[in-house]
Amino acid sequence: MVFGYFLAVFRVPCGLAGLVSSQRMGAPFIIGLICFIYLILGCLIDSLPRAVLTEPISYPVMVTLGFNPIWFG
């Protein structure tokens, strides 16, 4: 809850989504990057804490790229 509040106050998800959308990287590259990050974090962190820590950041990026949120979940 504290981490989510911190992200909301400093507008990290919106800023990251804007940064990704302004770059010329394709959607497959971004999905590959997120999958690679989840692969590395999967070796270090259990699944529930990993989801709680990364979803507030990766969800706005996926919505900005035009992916269905249900598919991403």
Contact call for residues 60 and 17 (beta carbons, < 8 A): yes
Q: Which helix (H) or strand (E) holds 67?
A: none
DSSP 43-66: HHS-HHHHHHHHHHHHHHHHHHHT
Long-range contacts of 27-30 (CB under 8 A, 24+ apart): 27/65, 27/66, 27/67, 30/61, 30/65
Taking the model in full, what pTM does it have?
0.69
Structure confidence by residue, pLDDT tens digits, 15-43: 777 777 777 778 888 888 888 888 988 88
pLDDT value of residue 71: 85
The structural domains of the chain, with segments of one domain joined by +, span 2-72
More confident residue, 52 or 17: 52
